[in-house]
């Protein structure tokens, strides 16, 4: 198995089953530090650089929290308009990364251009972690999600994932790739204009994933072990920033999970949502036995602790 030390985390496309398990084991080992709300010292001699070209609440702050929990240091930017990449100069990723690599020991990057973190990794001598690139991938979020499934269901094998929402979303791409490494099935529900592309479906089929598409959540909710949600009232992820404005519209019933609908779900089915949410997941679902998105949010810190410790060579 490949070592994680010095490695970029750009995609789950080439992640192998054993590597998922290794990451989950390290996360489990480090979880008590986060749960006890103490800061340790595993990365006390390391610095993380955050380069966020798109807004984020969870991904950036979970990486920063993870670094603090391990005693490390953090610097970076969350608004590219305050850098030379976002002003008159439009500084290139290559030139920017040639600076950032001297400021820390790993770079976590979110960008509106698909492939930007991979481009950064070409030029950086330190590991680059993809924190979401356009409609591309969101590997650290899906590692968080699958770690949550392992914790809550004890397995990923044998489960049916009901994936609801905009299939252009980067989480859906990373999840599709990840599930090919497990004996799991997927059912996808999305508006036609947000459905899986033919190319991606062919790729998933080639990689052995068993999946099908349905038109309404109600058609598949009874068989789901994991209800995996994203909004369909959605921002444009190819923009550096998509301002709120006017009437955003409402989510059609086909793509909503309500308390009423959950009466048809398995008793132990869990709902994951990487958040933020719109009206596809009403707040009154939070009190049901199915909601696991707050545990998922906590696990987001734990998973970033594991990934940072691994790529910085502090653990194997």
Give residues 222-251 in contact with ligand CP (rule: CB under 6 A).
none
DSSP classification of residue 189 = E
Q: What gap in Å lies between CA 143 and CA 215, rounded to an integer?
A: 27
Q: 9 with 129: CB under 8 angstroms? A: yes
Q: Counting contacts by CB under 6 A, is residue 274 touching ligand CP?
A: yes
Q: 146 with 22: CB under 8 angstroms? A: no
How many residues touch ligand CP under the rule CB under 6 A: the total is: 8
DSSP classification of residue 102 = T
Tokens for 274?
A: 């990487």
Q: Counting contacts by CB under 6 A, is residue 46 touching ligand CP?
A: no
Residue nearer to ligand CP on the CB measure, 22 or 177? 177
Residue nearer to ligand CP on the CB measure, 57 or 288? 57
The one segment of 53-61, 155-163, 204-212, 261-269 that binds ligand CP by CB under 6 A: 53-61
Q: What gap in Å lies between CA 138 and CA 142, rounded to an integer?
A: 7
Instruction: Give the nearest distance from C-beta 310 to ligand CP in angstroms.
Output: 20
Q: Counting contacts by CB under 6 A, is residue 155 touching ligand CP?
A: no
- Give every strand in the sheet of 106-111, ordered side by side: 73-77, 47-52, 106-111, 128-133
Give residues 131-150 in contact with ligand CP (rule: CB under 6 A).
132, 141
Q: Counting contacts by CB under 6 A, is residue 275 touching ligand CP?
A: yes
Q: Where are the beta strands (DSSP E) in 103-209?
A: 106-111, 128-133, 160-164, 185-189
Find the DSSP H helices in 253-292: 259-262
The one segment of 55-63, 97-105, 161-169, 220-228 that binds ligand CP by CB under 6 A: 55-63
Among 22, 50, 59, 234, binds ligand CP (CB under 6 A): 59
Residue numbers of the site for ligand CP (CB under 6 A)?
56-59, 132, 141, 274-275
């Amino acid at each position: 198995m490949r070592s994680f030390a010095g490695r970029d985390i750009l995609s789950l496309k080439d992640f192998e089953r054993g590597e998922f398990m290794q990451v989950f084991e390290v996360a489990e080992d480090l979880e008590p530090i986060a749960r006890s709300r103490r800061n340790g010292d595993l990365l006390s001699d390391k610095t993380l650089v955050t380069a966020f070209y798109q807004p984020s609440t969870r991904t950036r702050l979970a990486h920063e929290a993870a670094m603090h929990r391990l005693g490390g240091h953090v610097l970076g930017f969350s608004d590219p308009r305050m850098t030379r990449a976002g002003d008159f100069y439009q500084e290139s990723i290559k030139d920017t990364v040639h600076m950032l690599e001297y400021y820390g020991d790993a770079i976590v990057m979110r960008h509106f251009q698909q492939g930007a973190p991979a481009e950064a990794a070409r030029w950086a001598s330190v590991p680059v972690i993809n924190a979401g690139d356009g409609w591309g991938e969101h590997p650290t979020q899906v590692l968080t999600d699958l770690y949550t499934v392992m914790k809550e269901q004890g397995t990923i094998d044998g489960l049916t994932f009901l994936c609801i929402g905009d299939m252009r979303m980067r989480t859906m791409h990373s999840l599709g790739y990840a599930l090919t490494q497990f004996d799991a099935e997927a059912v996808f529900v999305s508006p036609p204009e947000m459905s899986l592309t033919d190319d991606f479906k062919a790729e998933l089929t080639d990689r052995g994933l068993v999946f099908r598409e349905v038109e309404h959540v109600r058609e598949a909710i009874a068989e789901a072990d994991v209800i995996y949600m994203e909004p369909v009232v959605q921002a444009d992820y190819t923009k550096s920033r998509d301002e709120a404005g006017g009437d955003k519209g409402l989510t059609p019933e086909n793509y909503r999970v309500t308390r009423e609908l959950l009466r048809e779900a398995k008793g132990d089915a869990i709902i994951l949502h990487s958040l933020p949410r719109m009206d596809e997941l009403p707040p009154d679902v939070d009190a049901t036995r199915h909601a696991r998105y707050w545990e998922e949010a906590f696990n987001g810190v734990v998973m970033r602790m594991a990934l940072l410790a691994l790529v910085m060579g502090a653990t194997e």
